[in-house]
């Protein structure tokens, strides 16, 4: 008790996620609990505290990944610019179907809109069938692709009214592009949410992301109200503003996907890590590998090794650095089971340090990977005597 009386003051601070903060004070041998104050106000009731509780996930920053804030900031910029571009595209589409034109009929406008929606639905199903399995493993690539395609679709919608004979065809193609954007954008956002959630709080992060996007769209709506009178019947200004917003949109999207640091291995990141390991024995960290990961085109590092009739695995066992093996071609090997056994030993010898040593301490997640979901299986027959 005497020691407690000698150390009066704050003995502990308690904070509940991004909510209020409490202090435990020791005075006259008794402990008192009170809310922490910031600039004379209670921290939990401050404007920043309310903002965090409304737009950030519970427990931030501990409950989200380290790249969460940087990604969300760039994502906010791109959503705002995309909202303004979307307003220009919507105005052009309405003008193209006959809004404000006394000669246009309701039936013609309805048919055009139905054809656009119908072709978009078919495009959505087709894209999900062809590329759905790639959206997890290459989330950053397809996220950027979706935003680029979205800008292309909006440009087509803005340009469509200037080509009346082909208006329906152009808006139908744009509808297909927009449907692909919906699939790719939604699926990759879900994959990024899995990466950002660090406390199994995917639903909370997804809900707060929706709140952030709604706030940005509301701000874009207010700006659009002032923008529409300026661009009405002014195609030149419409195209100039669209290209400015598109440039900002693409730049913000590039910075957003570049800020994401995935700790799981996909084909591109694994190729980068293995290539560096085989060159000099160094294992790249997730940050270093993500910086080198391409977000536009896939990266492939191949080295085919041909063995002659007299070659053996003693040759391969001497190779440690300088090559990445994607395929191994053997012209002759007397016993196929010896091929399996020797190749297994070779892999253990070359990658022993990679698999058992540095890899486990490099902050890579090893419990699961993103090396596609190809249902490939091989079954070995029993060895015949």
What are the pLDDT digits (tens) for 309-341? 344 444 444 444 444 444 444 444 566 677 667
Q: SS3 of 330, please?
A: strand
Length of the chain as a residue count:
385
Query: What integer is the mean pLDDT of 144-166?
Result: 92
Using the predicted structure, report yes or no on whether residue 129 has a pLDDT greater than 80: yes
pLDDT at 247: 96
According to CATH, where is 1.20.1250 located in the chain?
68-259
Q: Which residues are CB-contacts of 134 (< 8 A; sequence separation ≥ 6)?
A: 142, 372
Using the predicted structure, report yes or no on whether residue 30 has a pLDDT greater than 80: no
Rounded distance between C-alpha atoms, residue 65 and residue 56, angstroms:
12
**Poorest-pLDDT segment among 33-42, 170-179, 356-365, 367-376:** 33-42
Q: Which residues of 311-337 are buried (b: 16+ CB within 10 A; e: fewer)?
A: eebeebeeeeeeeebeeeeeeebeeee
Rounded distance between C-alpha atoms, residue 314 and residue 346, angstroms:
9
7, 25 Cβ separation under 8 angstroms: no
Using the predicted structure, report yes or no on whether residue 266 has a pLDDT greater than 60: yes
Candidates 90, 81, 88; CA nearest to 216 is: 81
Rounded distance between C-alpha atoms, residue 156 and residue 177, angstroms:
10
Rounded distance between C-alpha atoms, residue 253 and residue 96, angstroms:
29
Q: Which residues are CB-contacts of 336 (< 8 A; sequence separation ≥ 6)?
A: none
Q: Which residues are CB-contacts of 372 (< 8 A; sequence separation ≥ 6)?
A: 133, 134, 137, 266, 267
Q: Where are the alpha helices (DSSP H) in 260-363?
A: 267-280, 286-292, 313-317, 336-350, 352-356
What's the pLDDT band for 133 if we cut at 50, 70, 90? confident
The conformation of residue 228, written as its DSSP 8-state character, comes to: H
Domain 68-259, CATH class in plain words: mainly alpha
Q: SS3 of 23, please?
A: strand
Within 10 angstroms of residue 120's Cβ, the number of other Cβ atoms is 22
**Poorest-pLDDT segment among 134-143, 249-258, 349-358:** 349-358
Kindly report the pTM of this predicted structure: 0.77
Asked if the bond preceding 61 is cis, omega within 30° of 0, the reply is: yes
**Percent of the chain topping pLDDT 70:** 72
Rounded distance between C-alpha atoms, residue 148 and residue 89, angstroms:
15
The number of helices, as runs of H, and strands, as runs of E, in the chain is: 14, 7
pLDDT at 306: 43
Distance of CA 188 to the CA centre of its chain: 5
The whole-chain average pLDDT of the chain stands at: 79
């Amino acid at each position: 008790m005497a020691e407690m009386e000698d150390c009066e003051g704050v003995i502990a601070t308690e904070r509940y996620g991004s909510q209020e903060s409490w202090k435990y004070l020791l005075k006259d041998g008794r402990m008192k609990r009170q809310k922490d104050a910031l600039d004379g106000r209670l921290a939990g009731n401050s404007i920043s505290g309310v903002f965090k509780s409304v737009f950030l996930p519970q427990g931030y920053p501990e409950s989200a990944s380290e790249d969460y804030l940087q990604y969300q900031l760039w994502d906010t910029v791109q959503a705002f610019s995309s909202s303004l571009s979307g307003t220009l595209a919507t105005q052009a589409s309405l003008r193209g179907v006959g809004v404000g034109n006394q000669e246009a009929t309701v039936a013609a406008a309805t048919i055009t809109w139905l054809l656009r929606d119908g072709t978009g639905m078919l495009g959505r199903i087709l894209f999900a069938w062809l590329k759905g399995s790639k959206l997890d493993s290459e989330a950053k690539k397809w996220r950027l692709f979706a935003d680029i395609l979205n800008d292309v679709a909006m440009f087509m919608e803005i340009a469509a009214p200037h080509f009346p004979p082909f208006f329906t065809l152009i808006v139908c193609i744009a509808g297909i592009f927009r449907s692909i954007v919906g699939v790719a954008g939604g699926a990759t956002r879900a994959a990024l949410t899995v990466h950002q959630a660090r406390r199994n709080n995917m639903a909370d992060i997804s809900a707060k992301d929706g709140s952030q996007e709604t706030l940005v769209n509301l701000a874009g709506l207010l700006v659009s109200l002032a923008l529409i009178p300026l661009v009405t019947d002014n195609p030149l200004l419409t195209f100039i503003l669209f290209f400015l917003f598109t440039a900002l949109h693409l730049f913000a999207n590039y910075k957003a996907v570049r800020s994401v640091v995935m700790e799981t291995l996909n084909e591109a990141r694994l190729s980068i890590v293995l290539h560096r390991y085989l060159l000099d024995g160094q294992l790249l960290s997730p940050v270093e590998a993500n910086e080198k990961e391409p977000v536009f085109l896939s990266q492939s590092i191949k080295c085919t090794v041909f063995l002659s009739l007299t070659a053996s695995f003693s040759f391969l066992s001497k190779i440690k650095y300088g090559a990445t093996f994607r395929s191994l071609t053997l012209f002759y090997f007397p016993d196929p089971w010896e091929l399996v056994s020797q190749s297994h030993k070779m892999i253990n010898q070359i990658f022993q340090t990679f698999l058992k040593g540095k890899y486990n301490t490099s902050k890579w997640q090893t419990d699961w990977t993103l090396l596609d979901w190809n249902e490939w299986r091989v079954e070995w027959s029993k060895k015949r005597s």
